[in-house]
Amino acid sequence: MTSNVDPITLEVFQNALSSIADELALVIMRSAYSNIVRDSMDYSTAVCDCNGLTIAQGLTTPVHLGSFPHAMRSLIDAYEGKMSPGDVFIFNDPYEAGGMHLPDFYVIKPVFVQDRLEGYVATLAHQIDVGGIAPGGMGVFSQEIFQEGLRIPILKLFDKGQANESIFSLIKINTRMPESLMGDLRAQISACNTGEKGMISLVNKYDGNSFREHCEALHDYAEKIIRKQIAKLPDGKYKYEDYLDGVGENPEPIKFCVSINIKGDHVNIDWTGTSQQVKAAINGPLPTTHAMSYLGVRCAVATQMPNCEGYMRAISVTAPKGSIVNPFEPAACGARGIICFRMFDTLLGAFAQILPDRIPAANEGGSTAPHIAGRDVNNKPFMVSGGLMGCWGGNSSSDGVEGISNPAANLGNTPIELLESRQPIEITKYAFITNSGGPGCQRGGVALVRGYRLLEEAAELVVRSDRRSVLPYGLADGLPGTPSWNVIYSDGNQKLLPACPMESVPMKKGDEFIHYQAGAGGYGDPLDREPDKVLRDTMNELFSLDYAAEVYGVIIENEWVSEEKTAKKRKILRADKSHKDAYLQHFHKAIGVDFSNWKPHFANKS
Amino acid sequence: MSEFIKSKSVNRCRIGVDIGGTFTDIVLTSDGKPPLVKKISSTPENYASAVAEGIDALIKEEHIEPEEISDVVHATTVATNAILEGKGAHTGLITTKGFRDVLEFRRVRFPELYNLSYVKPRPLVERRDRLEVIERISADGSVRVILDETSVVKAALKLKGRGVAAVAICLLHSYINPTHEKRVEEIIRDIMPAGTFICSSYDVLPEIREYERTSTTVVNAYLGPVLSHYLLQLRKKLNDIKVTSPLYVMQSGGGQMSDSAALNLPAYFVESGPAAGVVAAAAIAKRAGLEQIITLDIGGTTAKTAIVEGGEPSRTSEYEVGAGVNLSSKLVKGAGYSIKLSFIDVSEIGAGGGSVVWFDDGGLMKVGPESAGSFPGPVCYDLGGEKVTLTDANLLLGYLNPMGLLGGRMKINREKAYSYVKQSVGDHLNLSAMDAAMGIFTVAVNNMVRAVKSVSTYRGRDPREFTLVAFGGNGAVLAAAIADELDITKFLVPSRSGVLSAAGLLAADTTNERVRYLFGVVGDLEDDLVLSAFDSLRVEASTQLLEQGFSPTEISNNMFADLRYRGQAFELTVPVHIHTPKLTEMMAHRFHEEHQLTYGHKSTDEQVELVSIRVSARVSKPKEVTVERKAKPTATFEKRMVKFKANCAEVETTILNGRENIDNKCICGPVIIEEYDSTIVVPPDWLAEVDGSGNLIVSKGRVSHDFKC
């Protein structure tokens, strides 16, 4: 810790900074327009020091942890010495400007005190639509970034306080949803102005030099915490592989391979061995890979720590150029969220070898993001969006949580009533699926189902989902989770869609799109699950009676566990391992999907 | 009924009772006499017992006849405790087919980022008791699927068979068309045994957003049987001591409701106690001519703040019960059970006198949220506590009397506190015990500053334009330091601030708030339609008060509208004067102004949507909140050394035993005023004066003697 800053003042200083970052986040949440920002909370805010290093981040979504460093670096590279009070910068491009994918707009304001640059307030929000081949910017089928919508290099949106109206006009004409996007952009600008005020008064309180000294001390402090935690882990190399299903009708699995190399108080995250970049919009430019690597380490080892860039000094990341986690321009990356989730799963799979008591089995695999868009009779655009989640894997002490956001995202859902009152859609169901999730002594969280019925004449459906063939992994003899399915019911006919269709799917009035999400992995042998817990799950209609009997070996009669029959049944099941896949048949029976041609791909390995 | 009271009560006594987990405070006021106060231990096995016993003892001591009591107003923790302890009723829930799990999905966010071992709170209704009925209303209120009554009967029989004591009903879009819910309710009532608590969402909270509406309705049902039992018990116990006056319960939103009305709406009473404190502070400040205040209530475990503007406490409808500390405007929700009703917006931080000092992995000093409680308590209590707390630091700094607290009744051990602070904090940081104590104090102050900011700067309010009103055992010890951090130049300490909440009960109006979904774009909406909607809602809101016996002339109405820009999802609530020309235009105008104030920008060329209208009908109570004490100067001036600032030496400071010892009602700092249940720290550059109502007003900027560092 820097000698001139005492731990008392530093604690006070850290509090003051976090409250500025939170204040920025609140302004955005309350005045934003799109449901992605205001309900899902797919946005982040940060306060940075004069070198552009993050010193505080608003608590919104973990996936954005570490999303500012690259952005700040490219801003400073481009504009160092050329910034003035009143400037506001905007950009979204992952190759030119350190962005994540095109929908994520960065709006950043440098903060000057007495004409000296003291730091930055920064915001990042997922915009509902930025043009391009598919509504919502998530078209998996883009092959180059040029198809994905408006690319914005680093531009001055405000020059010395003067708005550059040309940029506003350019953006407005390039989106399908101008009202929403412009509203959210205003919220970002307004948050920056609020944050600027808070930061100026903080700098004044500490006076410039001492403020900088405190920022340094804070970085040192965060680094110290994480190094202490890493040092507690045994040195070594821990490897894990997981897969994305792949895209289109005949998907080829895409491999993610990570090695966690722990040496003393430093950790290297190495993605060597991961698949090459692909001709689909699921490539993750380097900032994404860094963000996920930091997040994995943070979840595994240190939960209580300020969101301050100093801790990143203890972590290095290796990502081979040309791989899906560090692609060459102009690889498309609009739907790169899905690889974020898979990187997270792969990292945790590796950490599970080091911290078996702390790491849960795999979660649902990430949000499913359906977009249903079109124009109504008055040619007014509509768009149904919003990610679906989710459930967590079982862990050494408890069942997987269900009805919860993916731990890497922490995004919220949109109220059905709000959705229906604004968009021509009827939500037909939103519920847990019986007999879903991976069986285990601590079972995986059960999956969810949501149905959408179109009320307008026509629309296009774009969907990005995963975990149909490579199932969420189980741990410690727990079984993998259940697969995801996309189904359209049209005029009484059932049609199965790929997990990631490589084209938009037409829908007509009355058609119903149903997404069955993947269920999470189990932990421990299901035959060791306490019969009373199985009874409760059965009473709660999460399990059917025959599922309880055939998968868990628990015989329930008249709402009671028959201990004798259960003991007998479990003995039989223990002797015969062939029952292990029975849960998948029960699951498919419960949702009424014909899966005769389906085969799971048990590919994970450490 | 109220007419009757007025004519009869020549010598009217009013009683306020604040039932806390540890103590029950009773305040009795009567015309022309100083108020009487009684503090007794609470009786958690049956809270009603202590109330009745306390009132009985108090009136007997003071020779007051039970008939002289005109009303009893009380705040209770019964509702909160039932949720915290999971002791509500076995409850069933009826939902639209396909949506039984909405209650459990919640908004799917979780409150502890990065924590992979997170465990979600269990839903108040288990899945097996969440049953679906076949029906569907569309977003525009039209019926898409007609209610299948057989499915309702089936569900009702199932719940009957399970023996549930309460049933909540919440169907999709019932806020716009409640016909299905009403019919379901009828059928359920027919089938369930008499005495089953049944409530529907259109009645509890007719607002859009299915999770919040379902959760609120479920909380209401879950608490229904518990609160009914409690209120009937209390009524009976009061009857036993011959007190038959009306009985009121304080609502979380600051108004009060008669016991009979309260029976059906228990979700309204979850934060009854903290609301009473804010109402009291607002009323006292208003009498002192202060309408812009921030309340600062610091006890042993938490610091609570709320903002009051124009004399009205600010309210929120985003509350989660059982979520631990509730920081206003907090970003990460999901820790508790959502109740989307009007609450006084109290922001809470886990920092109080008992907060424990610790060091994290990076070596930073933290204070709280763990508290040493009252047992073993701080090190200086000498009851075996070994963890250094804020109170120990306050003692070393000279803020607290080294001879003892509570007027000397509670002995303390300064030497022990000194050696613990030195060893476990000072040595760790290479600081003297005094500097370590100052450090603890500074960190605690800064935690509390965050609670003040969350009700002010986070919402575009400048704290410098407000006066702090400090109460609770530690409020006035820390008020000056907190004010300094925020450039606030004045704070007020009410007299008898230790029983402020109980006194506040007597300041609260009787209210009934109703809300109605009324959607439309300003410009398209007809003023007449909005006006008539307000009128009928006003009638609806008043009905309940009329049934309680108030006359129409006593009832006043405040009207509000929830508005937003087209496309936004969060509304801002603005007050409405319905008898202005261009009604909707004026509403939009107020909305633009509020948006500018709160978020720093407005878009006058955007369309404004009206979402809901609200009417709060109220009957004002006489504002007898003064708990002034007879001045009995004791005139013994003590002195002791006190440390006010880091890097400054200790200064010799006058110690006064009570504010009544202030000469000429005015004194310059440094001075410490010790009272029975609190201590007021007045640093060197502050000045304290007593106003006509016995409030201590402390202001900054009048530097007294040549105090220098």
**pLDDT, tens digit, 9 for 90 and up, residues B104-133:** 999 998 888 888 989 898 999 999 999 999
> In terms of domains, do B533 and B559 share one?
yes
Residues B426 and B474 reside in one and the same domain:
no
Say whether B628 sits in a helix, a strand or coil. coil
Distance of CA A36 to the CA centre of its chain: 13
Q: Calculate ∠ Cα A587-A592-A593, nearest 5°.
A: 85
Instruction: Work out the minimum CA distance from A420 to partner chain B, whole angstroms.
Output: 6
In a domain, B626, yes or no: no
Q: Which of A99, A111, A116 is nearest to A48 (CA)?
A: A111
Q: How far is CA A596 from CA A242, A601, B193, in A?
A: 25, 15, 50
Task: Count how many Cα atoms sit within 13 Å of the Cα of residue A195 in the half-sphere of its side chain.
Answer: 37
pLDDT band at residue B395 under the 50/70/90 scheme: very high
CA angle B345, B348, B351 (to 5 degrees): 160
Picking from B128, B172, B460, the nearest residue to A417 by CB comes out as: B172
Q: In whole angstroms, give the CA distance from residue B119 to residue B585.
A: 48
Residue of B nearest to A25 (CA): B331
Please tell me whether residues B344 and B438 are part of one structural domain: no
Residue B663 included in any domain: yes
- Do B188 and B214 form a contact (C-beta atoms < 8 A)? no
- Spatial strand order of the sheet with B651-657 comes to B638-642, B651-657, B671-674, B679-682
Is residue A419 within 8 Å of A425, Cβ to Cβ? yes
One domain, residues B518 and B598: yes
Which residues of chain B are within 8 Å of residue A395 when distances are taken between CB atoms? 116-117
Q: For residue B113, what are the contacts with CB-CB under 8 A and spacing of at least 6? A: A59, A62, A303, A410, B332
Cβ pair B429:A33 closer than 8 A: no
CB pairs under 8 A between A and B: 225
Place of tokens 């590279």: A77
The pLDDT of residue B705 is 45
CB of A316 within 8 A of CB of A268? Answer: yes
Residue written as token pair 């990143």: A312
d(CA B27, CA A532): 51
**pLDDT > 70 in chain B, percent:** 92
Question: To the nearest whole number, what is the mean pLDDT of chain B?
Answer: 87
| 8 Å CB contact of B138 and A14 | no
Residue B626 or A358, more confident: A358
CB contact under 8 A, A6 and B429: yes
Determine contact, residues A561/A554, Cβ cutoff 8 Å: yes
Residues B299, B206 within the same domain: no
Confidence (pLDDT) at A605: 59
Residue of chain B nearest A447, judged by CA positions: B105
Q: What's the domain range around B20? A: 2-75
Ranges of beta strands (E only) in A347-411 are 369-375, 381-384
Chain A nearest C-alpha distance from B335 (Å): 12
The SS3 call for residue B493 is strand
Q: A407, B116: Cβ pair inside 8 Å?
A: yes
Beta bridge partners of B467: B293
Secondary structure (3-state) at A347? helix
Cα A472 from Cα A465, distance rounded (Å): 13
Question: Does residue B632 lie in a domain region?
Answer: no
Band the pLDDT of B10: cuts 50, 70, 90: very low
CA distance B467 to chain A (A): 20
The sign of the torsion formed by the CA atoms of A543, A545, A550, A555 equals positive
Report whether pLDDT(B3) > 50. no
Give yes or no for residue B548 having a pLDDT over 80. no
pLDDT digits (tens, 9 = 90+) for B15-58: 999 887 667 889 898 876 777 888 787 787 788 888 999 999 99
For B236, the enclosing helix (H) or strand (E) is: helix B210-240
The reply to whether residue A432 touches residue B446, judged by beta carbons under 8 angstroms, is no
For A410-468, list the strands marked E by DSSP.
Answer: 425-432, 448-454, 458-464
Does residue B412 share a domain with residue B374?
A: yes
- Identify whether B709 is part of a domain: no
Same domain as B219, residue B100: yes
B612 & B657 share domain: no
> Do B601 and A190 count as a contact with CB atoms less than 8 A apart?
yes
- Residue B595 reports pLDDT greater than 90: no
Asked if the Cβ–Cβ distance from B568 to A183 is below 8 Å, we say yes
Stated as kind and residue range, the H or E segment containing A352 is helix A337-354
Name the residue in chain B with its Cα closest to that of A195: B458
Instruction: State the pLDDT confidence band at B462, using cuts at 50, 70 and 90.
Output: confident
ipTM above 0.85, yes or no: yes
Q: What are phi and psi of B549, to 5 degrees?
A: 105, 5
**Closest C-alpha among A90, A29, A91, A83 to residue A59:** A29
Q: Could you count the other beta carbons within 10 Å of the beta carbon of residue A604?
A: 21
- What pairs with residue B40 in β-bridges? B24
Q: Are residues B162 and B56 in the same domain?
A: no
Establish if B287 belongs to a structural domain. yes
Q: Is the backbone of residue A539 left (phi > 0), alpha (psi -120 to 50) or beta? A: alpha
From the candidates B96, B97, B108, which should be mutated to test the interface with A, based on the most A CB atoms within 10 A? B108
d(CA B560, CA B541): 13
Q: Which residue of A has its CA nearest to B123?
A: A403
Integer CA distances (angstroms), B617 to A30, A159, B155, B513, B546, in order: 28, 51, 37, 6, 10
User: Can you list the positions of beta strands (E) in B240-360?
Assistant: 247-250, 256-258, 293-298, 303-309, 312-313, 315-316, 319-321, 337-339, 343-344, 347-349, 355-359
**All residues at 6 or more sequence positions from A445 whose CB lies less than 8 Å from its CB, including other chains:** A363, A364, A390, A391, A392, A393, A394, A399, A400, A401, A402, A403, A404, A437, A519, A520
Which residue on chain B is closest to A224 by alpha carbon? B362
pTM: 0.90
- Best B95, B104, B109 member to test A by mutation, with max A CBs in 10 Å, is B109
Of A23, A32, A403, the CB nearest to B101: A403
Which of B599, B604, B605, B608 to mutate: most A Cβ within 10 Å?
B599
For residues A404 and A447, give the distance between their C-alpha atoms in angstroms, rounded to a whole number.
10
**Six-digit token string for A225:** 């915490």
Rounded Cα distance between B534 and B520, Å, is 14
pLDDT band at B332 (very low <50, low <70, confident <90, very high): low
Report if residue B708 sits inside a domain.
no
Distance from the B340 Cα atom to the nearest Cα atom in chain A, whole angstroms: 14
Block means of pLDDT (10 residues each) for chain A, length 606 residues? 70 85 86 79 92 87 81 96 97 91 96 96 94 85 94 97 97 93 93 93 86 94 93 96 93 96 97 96 92 92 82 96 96 92 97 95 94 92 90 96 93 91 95 97 98 97 94 96 96 93 94 98 97 97 97 96 97 87 92 84 62
Secondary structure (DSSP) of A21-47: HHHHHHHHHHH--SHHHHTS--EEEEE
pLDDT surpassing 70 at residue B6: no
Contact across the interface for B101 and A540, Cβ inside 8 Å: no
Token pair, residue A9, equals: 């003042």
Residues B92 and B222 in one domain: yes
For residue B248, is it within any domain?
no
Omega into A439 within 30° of 0, i.e. cis? no
- Same-domain check for residues B499 and B532: no
Q: Does pLDDT of B505 surpass 80?
A: yes
* pLDDT for residue B629: 47
Chain B residues touching A305 at Cβ < 8 A: 362
Has residue B484 been placed in a domain? yes
Strand partners, A56: A47
Tell me how far CA of residue A139 lies from CA of A127, A136, A337, in angstroms. 14, 8, 12
Q: What is the pLDDT of residues A367-399, one digit of tens each?
A: 998 999 999 999 988 999 888 999 999 999 999
On the 0-12 / 13-18 / 19+ scale of CB atoms within 10 A, B634 is: exposed
Q: Do B364 and A428 touch (CB under 8 A)?
A: no
Q: Provide DSSP, A128-197.
A: S---SSSGGG--TT--BGGGSS----SEEEEETTEE-HHHHHHHHHT-S-HHHHHHHHHHHHHHHHHHHH
- The C-alpha angle A521, A522, A524, rounded to 5 degrees, equals 145
Please give, rounded to a whole number of angstroms, the shortest distance from the CA of A480 to a CA of chain B. Answer: 18
3-state secondary structure B394-451: HHHHCCCCCCCECCCCECCCHHHHHHHHHHHHHHHHCCCHHHHHHHHHHHHHHHHHHH
Spans of all domains in chain A: 7-224, 360-524
Token pair of A39, please? 């309900």
Within 8 A of B119 by CB-CB distance, chain A residues are 398, 401
Instruction: Clarify whether residues B330 and B471 are in a common domain.
Output: yes
Burial class (CB in 10 A: 0-12, 13-18, 19+), A555: buried
Q: How many CA atoms lie within 13 A of A43 on its CB side?
A: 37
> Smallest Cα–Cα separation from B606: which of A103, A420, A33, A126?
A33
According to the model, what pLDDT value does residue B434 have? 95
Contact A180 B568 (CB under 8 A): no
Task: Tell me the C-alpha distance between B143 and B165, whole Å.
Answer: 31
- Please state the domain count of chain B: 6
